[in-house]
Chain A
Amino acid sequence: MAEEQGTQGRTTRSRIAHLYRRAGFGARPEELDAAAARGYRVTVDHLLDADATDPGVATMADPTFSKVFGDFMTVRRHRRHEASQMMLWWINRMIAATNPLPEKLTLFWHDHFATSLQKVGSPELMFRQNQLFRTMGAGRFEPLAQAVAKDAAMMVWLDSNSNKRESPNENFARELFELFTLGAGNYSEADVKAAARAFTGWRVSPRTQQFAFAPRLHDGDAKVLFGETGSFGGDDVVRLVTGRPECARFVTAQLWSHFARPVTPDDPLVAELTDAFTPELDVRALLRAMFLHPEFDSASTRTGLVKQPIEYVAGALRALGRRAEGVDLLRALRQLDQEPFVPPSVGGWPANGYWISTASSLGRMRFAEAVARDADLTPVASVSRRARPEAVAHLLSVDGWGATTTRALEKVADEPRSLLTLALVAPEYVLA
C-alpha cells in the first residue's frame, strides 16, 4: 500500500507514532508497523471505535474496596493501601490497553474535572469517578457534566454536599464556571451566587454514598442566571452553562491544549475546531476533527507539549514491556510531582513549563535508571555499537535523535543500560 504523505512529507509511520503519543502513551514498534499498514485514517477510526471491548484489559480485574474498622491509624493504613493499588491499576490499564485512547481521555477528564483523593478520602469514591470518565468521556459533554456534578467524589471535593438554602456554599458553582465550562471572565459574581442557590439541597447520602436531594434544604425561589429568570435547580444550571457558546470554545481549547499544544479559547484554530464540537458537544466528533486537522501534525504541535509525568512513566513502561508494580513506581511519580488521583488543586495539573525544572530532570533520570536496570536490553545489545542509538530510537518509537543527543548517546554505546537510560531522558523523548 502506498504510504500516505502527511504534512511536510512525513511518513505514515511517523504520523502514526505521533498520533499514538498524543492519543495514547506511545506505541511499540510492532504496533506501529501494524497501524502503518492500515493507514492513518483507519488508525484514527480504530482509536475512536466505541464498541470494541479491549483485549488488553479484558482480563484485568477492577480494584476492590472494603470497609475496615479500627483506630485512626488502622483505617488510614488500609485506605493508603487501597489508594496505591488503585493508582497502579490505572497505570497498568494505560500500559495494557490495546486501544489507549479511552485511558488517555480518562486522564484528560481527571485533569479537567480535577478532584483530589486528599480531601475526598475514600479511594472507592475516586474509583467511581474514574469509571465515570471512562464510560462517558467520549460521548456528549452535557450528560458528562451532569453526571460529574452529581458524582459523590466531586460533591465532597467542592462541598456540594453541604450547600444549604440558608447559607449557600459557592465553591462548586464557581469552579464549574471558571474551570469546567466557561473560563474566567465569562460569567459574573451574581451568576455564581445564583448558581450556588440553585445547587442547594444536593447531598451525598451517608448510607448509599450516592447523590440524594433534600427538598427542604433547597432554595426553590427565582434566580437570575445568565440573564434568564427561573426557579432553577442544579440540573438547569448545568444545562444552561453547557449550552453557552463560551463553553464549547473553552472545552475545545482544553482538549486541543491537552492533546496537541496549549492554546487559548480565542485562538482562530479553536473557532474552527469548535464547529466539529457543536451543537451536540460530541467529544468523539471533536477528537476526530483534531486528529485529522493539518495542525495536529505540524512542527509546532509536535514540539509543543512536554509529557506529563504519568504519561512519561506509562509510556516508558509500555515501550519496555513492563508492568507498573511496587511502591517504587509511586515514589517516582511523587518525585516527578504527579500522582494520579491527587491533583494539586481543582485547577488540575499545569502544562509544559511546569514540568521543566532541575527537580524534574533529576526525577526523570532516577526513574529512567531504575527502569533500565530491569529492562530487556536485547534490541539494543544485539546490534553493533554504531547502530545502537538508532536501535534505541526504534525501540522507543522516536523518529530519530538530533545531533546533540546522538553524540551523547554514542558516548555510552558500549553500555546498553546507560544508553537506554540516557535515551529516556533525552529532550526528544521527554517531549510528548
Chain B
Amino acid sequence: MAITRRQFITGEVGAGAAGAVGVALSQSPWQARGDDKTAATTTTVPTASSKGTLVLVTLYGGNDGLDTVIPFEDARYLGARGELGNFSDGGHPDGAVIPLADGLALHPALTGLKRLWDARQLAIVRGVGYPAPNRSHFVSMDIWQSGSTDGGSTTGWLGPWLDATGTDPLRAIAVGASVPRILRGEKASATAVPLGPFALPGTPALKAAFGSMQHPDGFDAPLAAAIARSGADLLTTGRTIADVVAGRPESEAGAANLEGVADGADRPGHTGELGEQLSLVARLIKADLPTTVYSVGLGGFDTHANEKAVHAQLLGQLDASITRFFADLEGDPHREGVVMVAYSEFGRRVAANASGGTDHGAAGPVLVAGPRVKGGTFYGDEPSLVDLDDGDLKHTTDFRSVYATVLEGIVGFDARRSLGGPYPRLDLL
C-alpha cells in the first residue's frame, strides 16, 4: 500500500487532545476566567499505573549504527568502510574508539555514555529493526512511530495508551512546536511544549476571552474544533507549567538553525538544541508533573556525505545532552524512575559511498539509559557483517520488543493493546 508523504506526516486523526477546559481562578499568569466551566478534567491519574518516566529521543535521518557501536576489529567492517572506519590516532578528531565488549566499541565522542555503561546504567540493544526493511525516511519513521509495519495506522504506538488513560493533557509532553506521531492517539495526543517563553500575553480581559473561545463543541468543522481543543489544553497545561518554565530565555539553538550542524563543531561538549530540550524535560520532571512520557528529538543524521565530521558532531551533542540530563536530575527522587530510549528510523549501509558517507540502511542499535536499567550489557545479537540483506544489516531484534519492554516496565500498559500482538520483552529493566 502506497503511503504518501502527507498521509504519513499529517496525523489527521487524533489531532489535539480531548482535554476539557478546567478553568479556574489562580494567581499564575494564566488567569483565564471563563463564564462557564465545562466539566473539569477527569481524575483518571495515569501515573497510578505508570512505574516511572519514559524519555524518548528520536534521532531523525537514520543514525549510522555501525559508526555508533563499532565492530572495530572486524576486517569486513574495516574493508567496507575505508576512511570512514579509520579511527587510528590522528585519523579521528576525537581520538580512538572506546572498547566495550564483544569486539564492539563506542564512537570516540561518546565518553559520557561510556561512563553510564561502566556505571551499569546504559544498555545497548543491537540489531533493532523489522522484517522487510523500508529505506524511505518517511515510511520507516512511520513504522517506528506507529509501532506497525502495516502502514495503515495514522496514530502512534503510545496512541492506545493515551486514548485509554483519561484526559490529563500533561500525561505526555512533546518538547517542541508539534507532537510527533508517537504521541498521537485516535482521540488524545500529547501536549506540545515549546522551548522559549511560555506566557500568554495580553490584558486580563483578553486572556479571559481567549479562554471562553476554546470550546471544541462550539465549532462544527473538525479542524476548527481541534484548534479550540489545543487552545483549551494550552490553558490547563499553562497553569501548571508556566512557573517551571518561567524565566527561560529564548533558545539560542533556534537561531542556530541557519547554520545547522556546524554550530556544534567549534564547541566541544556543546549540547545544542537537544540539550535545550532535555534541560526543559529535567526541569519538568523535577517539578513533579504527572507526566509519564516525554519526547525530544535531534535531526541531521542523514549522513550521505562527509559523514566523519558530521556524525562526530551529532554524537558529541547527543553524548553531552544525555550526560547533562542525568546530571541535572542528580539528587532528585524522580531520577530513579527515569528511562531514556534513543532510536532512529534505520541504520545505514555497511559499505561507504563515494561521498565519504553512507546511504540508507536497515537495522541499528537502540540505546536505553537510566538508573533502573540493567546496563553495562548488550541485548540482542550483533547483526552479521557477512549475511547481509542486499548490502544492509539484517535485524536480530524486533523494535516492538523494545516497545513492549518499556510499555509494561515503565508506562504500565498492556503492550498487546499498543502493538496488536505479543513481542518478547527484553530483560533490561
Q: Give residues in A with beta carbon < 8 Å to B.
A: 72, 76, 79-80, 83-84, 117-119, 121, 158-159, 162-164, 166-171, 174, 178-179, 183-186, 189, 250, 253-254, 257, 262, 264-266, 303-306, 331, 334-337, 339, 342, 344-348, 350-363, 365-366, 369-370, 402-405, 407-409, 411-412, 414-415, 418, 421-422, 425-428, 430-431
Q: How far is the CA of A365 from the CA of B225 in the complex (A)?
A: 17
Q: Which one, A266, A306, A358, contacts B192 given CB within 8 A?
A: A358
Does B112 reach chain A (CB closer than 8 Å)?
Answer: no
8 A-B residue contacts at CB 8 Å?
A72-B266, A80-B258, A183-B4, A250-B4, A361-B234, A415-B205, A426-B213, A431-B227
Pairwise interchain contact B138-A359, C-beta atoms closer than 8 A: no
Q: Which one, A117, A178, A257, A334, contacts B136 given CB within 8 A?
A: A178
Q: What's the minimum C-beta distance from A259 to chain B, rounded to whole angstroms? A: 13
Binds A, one of B46-54, B195-203, B332-340: B195-203
Q: What's the minimum C-beta distance from A377 to chain B, rounded to whole angstroms? A: 14
Q: How far is the CA of A405 from the CA of B227 in the complex (A)?
A: 12
Closest 5 CB pairs of A and B: A404-B218, A167-B354, A185-B2, A337-B177, A303-B221
Q: How far is the CA of A356 from the CA of B174 in the complex (A)?
A: 13
Does B308 reach chain A (CB closer than 8 Å)?
Answer: no
Does B101 reach chain A (CB closer than 8 Å)?
Answer: no
Mark B205-235 against chain A: 1 for CB-CB distance below 8 A, else 0: 1101110110100111111111110110110
Give chain A residues whose Cβ lies under 8 Å from the Cβ of B390: 189
Pairwise interchain contact A408-B209, C-beta atoms closer than 8 A: yes
Q: Which residue of B lies closest to A370 (CB)?
A: B201
Pairwise interchain contact B260-A360, C-beta atoms closer than 8 A: no
Pairwise interchain contact A163-B202, C-beta atoms closer than 8 A: no
Q: Which one, B1, B178, B221, B257, contacts A354 given CB within 8 A?
A: B178
Pairwise interchain contact A363-B194, C-beta atoms closer than 8 A: yes
Pairwise interchain contact A345-B60, C-beta atoms closer than 8 A: yes
Q: Which residue of B lies closest to A254 (CB)?
A: B6
Q: Which one, A179, A336, A357, contacts B230 given CB within 8 A?
A: A357
B262-286 at interface with A (beta carbon < 8 Å): 262, 266
Give chain A residues whose Cβ lies under 8 Å from the Cβ of B260: 118-119, 121
Q: How far is the CA of A241 from the CA of B198 in the complex (A)?
A: 47
Pairwise interchain contact B6-A350, C-beta atoms closer than 8 A: yes
Q: How far is the CA of A217 from the CA of B3 in the complex (A)?
A: 35
Q: How far is the CA of A101 from the CA of B184 in the complex (A)?
A: 34
Pairwise interchain contact A336-B177, C-beta atoms closer than 8 A: yes
| Total B residues in contact with A, Cβ cutoff 8 Å | 86
Pairwise interchain contact B213-A405, C-beta atoms closer than 8 A: yes
Pairwise interchain contact A356-B226, C-beta atoms closer than 8 A: yes
Q: How far is the CA of A174 from the CA of B61 in the complex (A)?
A: 14
Q: Which one, B201, B218, B304, contacts A366 given CB within 8 A?
A: B201
Q: How far is the CA of A307 from the CA of B259 in the complex (A)?
A: 27
Give chain A residues whose Cβ lies under 8 Å from the Cβ of B259: 76, 79-80, 118, 121
Does B330 reach chain A (CB closer than 8 Å)?
Answer: no
Pairwise interchain contact A369-B202, C-beta atoms closer than 8 A: yes
Q: What's the minimum C-beta distance from B356 to chain A, rounded to whole angstroms? A: 8
Pairwise interchain contact B209-A169, C-beta atoms closer than 8 A: no
Q: How far is the CA of A415 from the CA of B209 in the complex (A)?
A: 11
Given contacts A345-B61, A361-B233, 13 further A-B contacts (CB under 8 A): A79-B258, A118-B259, A159-B355, A162-B356, A262-B6, A262-B10, A304-B223, A339-B257, A411-B209, A418-B203, A422-B206, A422-B213, A427-B219
Give chain B residues whose Cβ lies under 8 Å from the Cβ of A425: 210, 213, 231
Q: How far is the CA of A348 from the CA of B10 in the complex (A)?
A: 12
Q: What's the minimum C-beta distance from B177 to chain A, rounded to whole angstroms? A: 3
Q: What's the minimum C-beta distance from A94 to chain B, rounded to whole angstroms? A: 20
Q: What's the minimum C-beta distance from B51 to chain A, rounded to whole angstroms? A: 26
Q: Which residue of B lies closest to A366 (CB)?
A: B201
Pairwise interchain contact B201-A352, C-beta atoms closer than 8 A: no
Q: What's the minimum C-beta distance from A332 to chain B, rounded to whole angstroms? A: 11
Pairwise interchain contact B4-A163, C-beta atoms closer than 8 A: no
Does B94 reach chain A (CB closer than 8 Å)?
Answer: no
Does B373 reach chain A (CB closer than 8 Å)?
Answer: no
Give chain B residues whose Cβ lies under 8 Å from the Cβ of A80: 255, 258-259
Q: Which one, B12, B228, B258, contacts A427 given CB within 8 A?
A: B228
